[in-house]
Amino acid sequence: MSKQAFVFPGQGSQYVGMGKDLYEKSDIARSFFEKADTILGFSLSTMCFSGPEEELKQTQNTQPAIFLHSIILLHLLHNAGADMAAGHSLGEYSALVFAGALSFEDGMRLVRLRGELMQQAGTEQHGTMAAIVGLNGKTVEEVCSEAGSAGVVRPANFNAPGQVVISGSVSGVRKAMELAQRHKAKLVRELVVSGAFHSPLMQSAEKGLRAALDSYQIRDAHVPVYSNVTGKPVQNGTDVKELLVRQLTSSVQWEASVRAMASAGAKRFVEIGPGKVLQGLIRRTEGNAEVLGIDKWEDLPRL
């Protein structure tokens, strides 16, 4: 029997104007924006609708903005359900709200704190990230290992076949970029980021996130949520909590997660949230899957 998977985007999918059409057309959306503004103590809604883009792009703002957008769309889909879920990095929190493991309110506080902790770690340990296209994951791991003499560098996101993001110290990442070019990568591009996400340079953020997660209730998930850290399904609340802490410094196993969901019967993947990033990655990983996205008001009838 064919199954449906809900997938939720992470950082990089935000845009100025996100959610404005939902706010204007729906009381549900309006109430969520108002609730978020109250929880955070500032107008996230104004930042989403009008920018400035520089502020929206700051990690501690980006994360709650994307999370909020995804959760509003989930509620506007009413009874549309899925057999499993996954989210890319930050998106894992949206997936856990969908799966009933986290409340919206706790999720909002956690993603804001996570963003602040990651921003702080990026300031304390200056690092960078780079996209490498056209080399397989194993080759990128070898490149990072070889570049390790120049500084810290690790694969951060295994996004799709031939599409890997690396992360670490500026010297380590730039050395790995140089080696990737020598290995004939099709594209090697440094990314504009405020920290070396999903690398050991995020370690200082772990303690604060663990303390916060311990103070919130993480319930068992109603449906399997495929973990970024393992690429495998998890439902137990205690395991979820541990994996969310490890996620900060671990590679995002997105390609493995998509393949595992397809193996578990997912024939249709629905990206819920801003942008189309995950749709492209899923098409590259599972060419036969049906892939669609829900971002704006006009997309809602698709489901």
Report the DSSP beta bridge partners of residue 169: 127
Strands laid side by side in the 225-226 sheet: 233-234, 225-226, 84-87, 3-8, 266-272, 290-294
- Choosing from 13, 70, 89, 194, the catalytic residue is 89
Cα distance between residue 224 and residue 218, in whole Å: 14
What is the assigned CATH class of domain 3-123+201-302? alpha beta
Q: Which pLDDT tens digit goes with each residue over 24-70?
A: 999 999 999 999 999 999 999 999 999 999 999 999 999 999 999 99
pLDDT of residue 302: 86
For the sheet with 127-133, list strands across it.
153-160, 163-169, 127-133, 187-191
CB 40 within 8 A of CB 64: yes
CATH tag for 127-194 (out of 3.40.50.800, 3.30.70.250, 3.40.50.720, 3.90.105.10): 3.30.70.250
Q: How confident is the model at residue 79 (pLDDT cuts 50, 70, 90)?
A: confident
89 part of the active site: yes
pLDDT digits (tens, 9 = 90+) for 109-161: 999 999 999 999 999 999 999 999 999 999 999 999 999 999 999 999 999 99
Please give the share of the chain, as a percent, with pLDDT higher than 90: 96
CA distance 198 to 229: 10
**Mean pLDDT, residues 151-173 taken together:** 98
Catalytic residue from among 13, 198, 227, 257? 198
Do 40 and 112 meet the contact criterion of CB atoms below 8 Å apart? Answer: yes
Annotated active-site residue 78? The verdict is no
Among 147, 122, 155, 133, residue whose Cα is nearest residue 254: 155
Q: Phi, psi at residue 143, to the nearest 5°?
A: -60, -45
Q: What pLDDT, in 10s, does the model give residues 224-265?
A: 999 999 999 999 999 999 999 999 999 999 999 999 999 999
pLDDT at 101 over 90: yes
d(CA 212, CA 116): 12
Residue 213 has pLDDT above 90, yes or no: yes
Q: Where are the domains of the chain?
A: 3-123+201-302, 127-194
Longest alpha-carbon distance in the chain: 56
The residue whose two tokens read 């949206």 is 94
Q: What is the pTM of this model?
A: 0.97
pLDDT at res. 303? 83
